[in-house]
Amino acid sequence: MEHTKNESCTGNKQDEEGHHSKQDHERACLEEYKRLIELKAALRQSNLNPERPDANHLRTLDSSIKRNTTVIKKLKMINDELKDGLIEELKTVNLSKFVSEAVSYICEAKLRSADIQAAVQICSLLHQRYMDFSPCLIQGLLKAFFPGNSGESDSDKNARAMKKRITLKLLMELYLVGIVEDVSTFTTIIEELTSLEHLKDCETDQTNLSLLASFARQGNYFLGLEGHGEDACDKFFMGLNITSGQKRFFKKALGSYYDAATELLQSEHALS
């Protein structure tokens, strides 16, 4: 009996320790999240109000084709390990005549999720130095969402699906930090992903549903979902200035596509 009582006490103590450990973990996660939001807010202010170098300063930098080509080729290999060195190199060259080439390499980069923040830092630097960088970048990234060749192989389709996923994540992060300013960038993407024409192709439909789920999860602020309960975080997301009409559009588009996909699957199941 005493043995059972001791076991019970030990078990209760372990449960209590586990509860405290979970609370500590949640608290640490929240603090880290708040820290990241503060960093995004600071970067957003810098990007929304860039102090771009004037022509005189740019003329003091290396404008040679050879040097600029060497540097911009590295934009195709963006990752956290190379980020700091690449940023320093970008500060030494004048890319004024090579902005479109720089954008091309960024758009071709095979980014991983872990590389997104490094890409955001590099894009922020280029945005703050060259006025024509961001419009060119946005147009380049949007190309990932439009239909490719009908004769694509399975590996090409998989690569394209992965490219869409990473590009969507990157664009959403660029929106948070003020490089993408126009919400219409995302209405264009969502209109494409929720086109009912895609329901005719099972693979495309599955890819789009996955992308839309990622959009809803990562970009819940586009849908007007509940805040985080932290004043600093909620203030940041409120400052994104997404209108109620835009939020309704995103909700309706996602809901309608989900309903149509569900109805199609149910009808196909009934026939099988």
Burial class of 243 by CB neighbour count within 10 A (0 to 12, 13 to 18, 19+): exposed
Pick from 145, 161, 181: which residue ends a domain? 181
3-state secondary structure of 131: coil
Q: 54 and 175 in one domain?
A: yes
pLDDT of residue 225: 81
Is the same domain home to 66 and 149? Answer: yes
* Shared-domain flag, residues 221 and 166: no
Structural contact between residues 198 and 146, judged by C-beta atoms closer than 8 angstroms:
no
Domain of 91, CATH number, reads 1.25.40.180
Same domain? For 69 and 163 the reply is yes
User: Is residue 38 assigned to a domain?
Assistant: no
Question: What's the rounded Cα separation, in Å, for the pair 111 and 163?
Answer: 8
Q: Are residues 208 and 224 in the same domain?
A: yes
Per the structure, the count of domains in the chain is 2
Residue 1 lies in a domain: no
Is 126 in the same domain as 195?
Answer: no
* Amino acid 230: pLDDT: 66
- Would you give per-residue pLDDT tens digits along the chain (272 residues)? 555 555 555 556 566 656 667 787 878 878 888 888 999 999 999 999 999 999 999 999 999 999 999 999 999 999 999 999 999 999 999 999 999 999 999 999 999 999 999 999 999 999 999 999 999 999 999 999 986 655 566 678 889 999 999 999 999 999 999 999 999 999 999 999 999 998 888 888 899 999 999 999 999 999 988 666 667 788 888 889 899 999 999 999 999 999 999 998 888 777 76
pTM more than 0.75? yes
Does 193 lie in the same domain as 151?
A: no
Residues 196 and 160 in one domain: no
Residue matched to tokens 């290396």: 62
- Do 242 and 226 share a structural domain? yes
Residue at 156 is within a domain: yes
- What is the sign, positive or negative, of the torsion defined by CA atoms of 113, 119, 210, 180? positive
Q: Would you say residue 17 lies in a domain? A: no
pLDDT given for residue 31 in this prediction: 85
10, part of any domain: no
- Structure letter (DSSP) for residue 197: G
| Domain co-membership, 188 together with 109 | no
Q: Are residues 170 and 212 in the same domain?
A: no
Last residue in a domain, options 181, 196, 226: 181
**Which range of residues forms the domain containing residue 99?**
50-181
What is the predicted pLDDT for the residue at 2? Answer: 53
| 253 domain-assigned | yes
169 and 187 housed in the same domain: no
Residues present in the chain in total: 272
Distances, alpha carbon 1 to alpha carbons 4, 9, 13, 268, in Å = 5, 13, 19, 61
Looking at 147, 181, 215, the residue that finishes a domain is 181
